[in-house]
Amino acid sequence: MSERTIALVTGANKGIGYEIAAGLGALGWSIGVGARDEQRRNAAVEKLRAAGVQAFGVPLDVSDDASATAAAQLIEEQAGRLDVLVNNAAITGGMPQEPTGVDPATIRTVVETNVIGVVRVTNAMLPLLRRSAAPRIVNMSSSVGSLTRQSGPDAEQTAGPVSAAYAPSKTFLNAVTLQYVRELSGTNILINVGCPGYVATDLNGFRGVRTPEQGAAIAIKLATLPDDGPTGQFFDDAGVVPW
Ligand X SMILES: NC(=O)c1ccc[n+]([C@@H]2O[C@H](COP(=O)([O-])OP(=O)(O)OC[C@H]3O[C@@H](n4cnc5c(N)ncnc54)[C@H](OP(=O)(O)O)[C@@H]3O)[C@@H](O)[C@H]2O)c1
By annotation, the residues acting in catalysis are 166
CB 28 within 8 A of CB 48: no
Q: Which of 192, 196, 220, 224 forms a contact with ligand X (CB under 6 A)?
A: 196
**DSSP result, 65-89:** HHHHHHHHHHHHHHHSS-SEEEE--
- Binding residue for ligand X, selected from 159, 195, 222, 223, defined by CB under 6 A: 195
In sequence order, the 6+-apart residues with CB closer than 8 A to the CB of 175 are none
**Using rule CB under 6 A, residue 208 touches ligand X:** yes
113 binding ligand X? (CB under 6 A): yes
Query: Whole-number minimum distance, CB 131 to ligand X, in Å?
Result: 24
Cβ at position 4, least distance to ligand X in Å: 23
> Are the CB atoms for 86 and 118 separated by under 8 Å?
no
Of the candidate residues 115, 193, 199, 222, the single one contacting ligand X (CB under 6 A): 199
Site residues (vs ligand X, CB under 6 A): 10-11, 13-17, 35-37, 40, 60-63, 88-91, 113, 140, 142, 195-196, 198-199, 201-204, 208
